[in-house]
């Protein structure tokens, strides 16, 4: 499982999304820019976090408020899928020197 770099600093946060207003871009394969990490935080419910990139082994994890958040590596294709009612947000990080 990926981990944030020790010197990663938060710089942006999405609004909280629910199952009915997740942006289409998050439901399809997408990636962050080079140097940008994401942390998917589930506030309520369940969210399936899917990593589907040729550079990584395909994986799926159900994220909940009780599990570790989903860590999004820079440039790695991924997507999410609500599993029933859910509330979540994404916090973005980059190296503190950038």
Residue 24 φ then ψ, to 5°:
-55, -35
Q: How far is CA 11 from CA 7, 33, 97, in A?
A: 13, 14, 12
> How much is the average pLDDT of 63-87?
97
State pLDDT tens for residues 22-69: 999 999 999 999 999 999 999 999 999 999 999 999 999 999 999 999
pLDDT at 1: 73
Q: What pTM did the predictor assign?
A: 0.94
Map residue 21 onto helix, strand or coil.
coil
């Amino acid at each position: 499982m990926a981990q944030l770099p020790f010197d990663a600093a938060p710089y942006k946060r999405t609004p909280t999304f629910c199952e009915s207003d997740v942006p289409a871009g998050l439901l399809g394969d997408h990636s962050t820019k080079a140097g940008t990490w994401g942390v998917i935080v589930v506030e309520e419910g369940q969210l399936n976090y899917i990593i589907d990139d040729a550079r990584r082994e395909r994986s799926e994890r159900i994220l909940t408020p009780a599990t570790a958040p989903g860590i999004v590596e820079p440039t790695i294709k991924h997507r999410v899928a609500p599993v029933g009612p859910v509330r979540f947000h994404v916090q973005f990080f980059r190296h503190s020197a950038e």
